[in-house]
């Protein structure tokens, strides 16, 4: 298979120096990319800014902003069998980006934020015969929120994990199906979970038939 994988955070700039982002390390997405390569698959890795070296053999597309990740993923998707969307994209962006560096005023400031484009939802709309695997990092009402994400974004399955996974070498995840069932529960090193996820996909999700 040829698999599109998104990984890492994105950044949304307030001015030319400061930005909004999150603490995603990209380790889970990079582990999935390595596991897919080890299983003999081709990988297109669309990655936000992280302190990791991409696995050797990936077709790597480096991006910074959510819009750039969307464009790179949408461009690569038609030539792939499916996507594993492990990236933790920034959900909000400033309505206005200031030029240069904003100076301190001695008082509070207000920044108006708007939602960024939803990368996974776009891929879900464009999926045709592709399969779509989403990731959901949830702190409250975790299972319910993850299932809402699965259905709203037209995923086949969603990988549910918690904020404790951020920056860690280990993870504890549930693989949830469209009917709300738990298809698998894995915990341990992210590399081992990635191997199990890629194996499950290879056994349960079909080739797209588009290539």
Distance CA 170, CA 193 (A): 9
Distance CA 173, CA 44 (A): 23
- DSSP assigned state of 9: B
**Tens of each residue's pLDDT in the chain, 211 residues:** 999 999 999 999 999 999 999 999 999 999 999 999 999 999 999 999 999 999 999 999 999 999 999 999 999 999 999 999 999 999 999 999 999 998 888 899 899 999 999 999 999 999 989 999 999 988 888 899 999 999 999 999 999 998 888 878 888 999 999 898 999 999 999 999 999 999 999 999 976 544 4
Distance CA 29, CA 25 (A): 9
pTM: 0.93
Selected catalytic residue, list 22, 79, 145, 154: 22
- Catalytic site includes residue 141: no
Domains within the chain, CATH numbers bracketed: 2-97+112-134+191-204 (3.40.50.10300)
**Residues 6 or more apart in contact with residue 106 via CB below 8 angstroms:** none
């Amino acid at each position: 298979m040829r698999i599109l994988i998104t990984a890492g955070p994105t950044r949304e700039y307030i001015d030319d120096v400061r930005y909004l982002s999150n603490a995603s390390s990209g380790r889970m997405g990079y582990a999935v990319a390595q596991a897919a390569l080890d299983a003999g698959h081709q990988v297109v890795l669309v990655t936000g800014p992280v302190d990791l070296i991409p696995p050797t053999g990936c077709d790597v597309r480096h991006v910074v902003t959510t819009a750039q990740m969307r464009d790179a993923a949408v461009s690569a998707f038609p030539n792939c069998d499916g996507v594993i969307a492990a990236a933790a994209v920034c959900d909000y962006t400033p309505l206005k980006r200031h030029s240069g560096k904003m100076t301190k005023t001695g008082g509070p400031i207000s920044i108006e934020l708007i939602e960024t484009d939803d990368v996974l939802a776009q891929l879900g709309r464009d999926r045709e015969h592709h399969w779509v695997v989403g990731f959901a990092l949830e702190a409250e009402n975790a299972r319910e929120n993850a299932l809402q994400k699965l259905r709203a974004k037209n995923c086949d399955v969603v990988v549910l994990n918690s904020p404790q996974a951020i920056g860690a070498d280990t993870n504890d995840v549930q693989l949830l199906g469209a009917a709300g069932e738990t298809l698998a529960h894995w915990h341990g090193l992210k590399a081992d979970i990635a191997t199990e996820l890629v194996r499950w996909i290879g056994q349960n999700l079909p080739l797209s038939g588009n290539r």
